[in-house]
Amino acid sequence: MTATDAYGPADLIISGCAALLHDDQGRIGFAEDRAVVVRAGAITAVTDSAAAAALPAAERIDAAGQLAMPGLINCHTHSPMVALRGIAEDLPVEQWFNDWIWPIESNLTARDVRLGARLACAEMIRAGVTCFADHYFAMDEVAAVVTECGLRANLGAAYFSSQGEEGRARSLDFALRHRGTADGRISTCLAPHAPYTVDDTDLAATARLAREHGLPVHIHAAENREQTESSLARTGRTPIETLDRAGLFDDGIELLIAHGTGIVERDLEVLRRARARIAVASAPKGYLKFAWDTTPVRALAELGIPVGLATDGAASNNTLDVWESMALTALVQKQTEGDPAWLTARQALHHATVQSARAVGLGDSAGALAPGRRADLILVDLSGPHTQPVHDLAATLVHSARSADVTTTIVDGRVLMRDRRLLTLDVPQTVAELGERLPELTRRAHGRRIQDYRA
Amino acid sequence: MTATDAYGPADLIISGCAALLHDDQGRIGFAEDRAVVVRAGAITAVTDSAAAAALPAAERIDAAGQLAMPGLINCHTHSPMVALRGIAEDLPVEQWFNDWIWPIESNLTARDVRLGARLACAEMIRAGVTCFADHYFAMDEVAAVVTECGLRANLGAAYFSSQGEEGRARSLDFALRHRGTADGRISTCLAPHAPYTVDDTDLAATARLAREHGLPVHIHAAENREQTESSLARTGRTPIETLDRAGLFDDGIELLIAHGTGIVERDLEVLRRARARIAVASAPKGYLKFAWDTTPVRALAELGIPVGLATDGAASNNTLDVWESMALTALVQKQTEGDPAWLTARQALHHATVQSARAVGLGDSAGALAPGRRADLILVDLSGPHTQPVHDLAATLVHSARSADVTTTIVDGRVLMRDRRLLTLDVPQTVAELGERLPELTRRAHGRRIQDYRA
């Protein structure tokens, strides 16, 4: 009995391409002239093109001259903030939050979130992102956009202690209602904002709820060195120690920490002892813009903590371009560690694939082109003059190619972009509708803000 | 008498676009619905689209929804090195030079240089670069490619003292033969390699020749901190002091220094006293890759020294993408200076336009959209989801847009790329011919190298 008999025709076969594959240790390799066979949203085989030519398939993509690789994963963003892209530039983080972002976010409506998420998803699909972890407000709207546009996402409704118990309750309610929706493409989490806006009692309650409901937790922590110093001065504990003390490092918890550029030496032992499954999301562009340190990727790697790639929101990062985060991670880490041999192109691709998948809880189902994984993949055109000749595919991908070279984005076996044309979202319509909302959304004369930033 | 009567029909009118313009202090501004009128390769007017509609023109480009800005200038590259893009990665500079680049360059033929330059020019035109400063070998070949492809360039034939007087003589001969060729698009310079490969006698001779023939000088110097320390240990002088002592900072000389990341405090007073017209070319991506410091842009700005943007060769930088250099300059400078308010998006655009034009000796003829300047300009599509909405055009250009958003590249009024299609170069043909040469070009078993790198 052949594979065809066992399964019937494939839904989709992508053939003729080079492919980025992982060996059984998760190491990056490349193979030529591969075919990816997709059935019911999953990869059922990665084989050679000649073998695949004999298989019947409902749909075929001839990807000759392109490279297939796992779709990129944006491990920490606030997708609707694309509405504020470029509105508050060249500012220290205090002014950025207190004078711009938090006053503007006090105007935010569900409709703004819907439109922002649509534009963000369009940008991400065009950048080869197949999954994103979103931490924001009015998340029902984001879930609706994920459902309509076909992306995969891990979604959490943000809360502050200033909202009382209601914020936490809403975050839990959101997580329970949406978990497993959009044909399983949506996973959810609890989303306390940060140790400086969520108090110890609420963090401890979050840890209990996470264990009780089997929900991951996604939180900003140790965003910069100043926050760590301020936390030490105020409480005698670093933000990392505060998370540990609240029970968020306990066994059975899955914790995604955004940024961590303020992780200091004494935190490393705390992280080493943690029983929780911890990952860190790094968004290096914003750290450069705010003149912060960067995520201590090398120290985290030595602890076996995965570091996923992220963009943060476009209000600080200006794009949701995970490819850019990948390249910047390689560049900035070399410079920060004073070591040109550190964070090689292959390491950068490991962060972009295996480690990012683990960070968003998809370590077994995404992040690699392998049988049994979801069919979340992209095709990259390497024929442009800026990517030729190719001496080493890893270097070409990380340091020469860019997100605009992604031609095709596929999630769960469904083509969301083909030849750079979006198939599930209407950008001009979204931009026009969002444009009408901007005067009201960006009004700051009222003097309100949703929080005060004090590191 | 109207403009039409005075000049006859325009050769080209680009209309309906936003435009990046400079005020009489050279500061960046933007205007909507502009038209750029081109006659005989020069801009004769920047006016409103309605006024331009009444003017007769041989050719019109409707640029509605796009932004016109001066073409980017690559102030320091070795264009044929695209052939080595990605061949030697994640290495310290000593190994990079001694084990890879200089052994391979000992195989270099004129044909390799021709093919590499063609691929490089294709990449640059697609990245919105209209002019480049090239410092390499077999430069007759590069000049031929510039002539055929329509770009503007400042070209210098590199030499080492190890070549004896012949190297310097060939550099002078090249500069004199090619100056003003390609309908004036080629300017030339003397191109001593660096103070660590060209001795004091040859540097002094270069200074004399530069003054005698009115030729600029383009040289690598103080490429990194280690070179400065090594020079101090060997000679008691920094590389900058060595240039000064050789007469290269004297009145009447125009000097372009590549990199300068090893410029130290004591150099600043030397630079302040210099009578030469000095500029520095900064290529920040390679500095990150080699884990070097970066160019001290703030200190140079305080001295009034223009810092032009550059990519260096693709063997270290992996692209010739000046847009990427612009964005990285903004990001890295903020982080290096610990100041998010430093190197604003407008400053980055000032480096990319006015300062880069001055760096390559085109301060009066390029770098701005203004009557009397050469018609070297690009159109940028800002309708993509990653560049919407636009709150501030400067931020959109520097931090959200990228070279792939350039749709149209024009030099001397001639369209070299339209709607991302190259009109003067054949990429697949060039890649195929270059591919045939690569096995021979990249051979290292012979054990030869053109130089030894010792900082």
C-alpha gyration radius of chain B: 21
Task: Output the pLDDT for position A393.
Answer: 98
Cβ <8 Å between B389 and A337: no
Question: What does the pLDDT read at residue A455?
Answer: 76
Say if residue A172's pLDDT is above 50.
yes
Nearest of B61, B68, B53, B56 to residue B21 by alpha carbon = B68
Per-residue pLDDT tens over the stretch B226-240: 999 999 999 999 999
Chain segment B79-94, per-residue pLDDT in tens: 999 999 999 999 999 9
Tell which of A388, A398, A420 to mutate to test the B interface (max B CBs under 10 Å). Answer: A388
Tell me the nearest-neighbour CA distance from A279 into chain B, angstroms: 25
Question: What does the alpha-carbon distance between residue A325 and residue A330 come to, in Å, rounded to a whole number?
Answer: 9
CB-based contact (8 Å) between B65 and chain A? no
pLDDT score recorded for residue A454: 81
One-letter amino acid of B135: H
pLDDT tens digits, residue range B38-62? Answer: 999 999 999 999 999 999 999 999 9
Q: What was the pLDDT predicted at A8?
A: 83
A332 contacts on B by Cβ (under 8 Å): 288
pTM of the prediction?
A: 0.97
- What distance in Å separates residue B431's CA from the closest CA in chain A? 7
Chain B environment of A340 (Cβ under 8 Å): 90-93, 289-291
Residue B215 CA to residue B205 CA, distance in Å, equals 13
- What is the least distance, in Å, from the CA of A330 to any CA of chain B? 8
pLDDT, greater one: B5 or B107: B107
* pLDDT tens digits for range A59-72: 999 999 999 999 99
- Cβ(B399)–Cβ(B327) under 8 Å? yes
* B288 with A332: Cβ contact below 8 A: yes
**Cα B384-B388-B394 angle, rounded to 5 deg:** 105
Chain A residues 289-328 with a CB less than 8 Å from chain B: 289-292, 314, 318-321, 328
Contacts 24+ apart (CB under 8 A), B164-169: B168/B192, B168/B202, B168/B205, B168/B206, B168/B209
Residue window 327-386, chain A: list those with CB within 8 Å of chain B.
328, 331-332, 334-335, 337-345, 383-386
Mean pLDDT of A4-9: 64
In the sheet that holds A129-136, the strands lie side by side as A72-77, A129-136, A152-159, A186-192, A217-221, A254-259, A277-282, A307-309
Alpha-carbon Rg for chain A, nearest whole angstrom, is 21
Q: Check if the beta carbon of residue B424 is closer than 8 Å to that of residue B410.
A: no
pLDDT of residue A452: 87
**Sign of the torsion formed by the C-alpha atoms of A207, A212, A215 and A216:** positive
The answer on pLDDT for B4 being more than 50 is: no
| Contacts with B442 from chain A: Cβ below 8 Å | 391
Name the H helices within A91-159.
93-95, 102-105, 110-126, 139-149
Q: Collect all residues of chain A within an 8 Å Cβ-Cβ radius of residue B405.
A: 404
Cβ contacts (< 8 Å) between B342 and chain A: which residues? 90
Minimal-distance CA residue of chain B relative to A316: B399
- A86 CB neighbours in chain B (<8 A) are 390-392, 395-396, 399-400
